[in-house]
Structure 1
Amino acid sequence: MLVYFLVACDRLEEKREKKLRQHLPELQAALQAYVEANAANQVSLINDCDSEDCEDWQLGISQPISKPLHLNFPVKLFNGLAEQYGIDCEVGTIEGDSREPVSYFGKFEGPGEAFLIAEYLEL
């Protein structure tokens, strides 16, 4: 199963959007470092932040998952980013060109739990 984790960039209050724009380089660097460290696990970077409108941004990772245990590392990464940069995250599945969200977590939604996300993904 191919899953994705994205930084929630849509429907943000002005203050949160400003903070996201301010921390974009750090978030991109952290995600790039994770992708490079996990290249053997076929982790890919999702980095489409060219639009002037923050709402259109897509920033995160995609990763094949076959066991609930495989969710521990990306959930830990995104929980850390949420705490450090005050963001929320979206997690879901990828089939073809479409993404299907299954859960949200982060600074405002509350920390993500790999076990619960595995349940939502029906792993």
Structure 2
Amino acid sequence: MFVYLLVACDGLDESQEKKLKKQLPELRAALQTYAHANTANQVMLIDQCNSEDCADWQLGISQPIGKNAHLKFPVDLFNNLAKQHGIDCEIGTLENNERDPVSYFGKSEGRGDVYLLAEYLGL
């Protein structure tokens, strides 16, 4: 199963959008570093932040997941980004380039729990 984790960029107020735009280079760098370090695990960077409107942005990663333990590193990465940058994250399944959101976690939603998220994903 392929899963994706994205920085939640929609539904932000003006101050949140300003903050996200300012933090984009750091977020992008952290995700690029993770993706490059895990190319052997087929981790792919999702970076579609060309629009002026943050609601149109897609920033995150996708990767195959076979069991609960495989979720630990990406969920920890996004938990750390949420804590450091005050963002929320979206996790879901990816099939035929179609994303199906399953859950949100982060600053306003609370820390993501690997085992609970794995259950939501059907692992």
Alignment correspondent of 2:107: 107
Following superposition, the deviation at residue 44 of structure 1 comes to 0.1
Residue 5 of structure 2 aligns with an amino acid whose one-letter code is F
Q: Residues 30-74 of structure 1, C-alpha deviation per residue, up to 9 Å, x if partnerless?
A: 000000111110000000000011100000000000011000000
Following superposition, the deviation at residue 16 of structure 1 comes to 1.0
Normalising by structure 1, we get a TM-score of 0.99
Alpha carbon RMSD of aligned pairs, Å? 0.5
Following superposition, the deviation at residue 14 of structure 1 comes to 1.2
Q: Residues 1-123 of structure 1 correspond to what in structure 2 (within 5 A)?
A: 1-123=1-123
In 1: Cα distance, 2:13 partner to 2:108 partner? 12
In 2: Cα distance, 1:114 partner to 1:103 partner? 12
- SS of the equivalent of 1:66 reads coil
Residue 104 of structure 2 aligns with an amino acid whose one-letter code is Y
Percent identity, aligned pairs only, is 67
Following superposition, the deviation at residue 97 of structure 1 comes to 2.0
Total equivalences in the alignment: 123
In 1: Cα distance, 2:8 partner to 2:116 partner? 19
Residue 48 of structure 1 aligns with an amino acid whose one-letter code is Q
- SS of the equivalent of 1:3 reads strand
Q: Residues 62-90 of structure 1, C-alpha deviation per residue, up to 9 Å, x if partnerless?
A: 00000110000000000000000010000
Structure 1 unpaired stretches of 5+: none
- SS of the equivalent of 1:82 reads helix
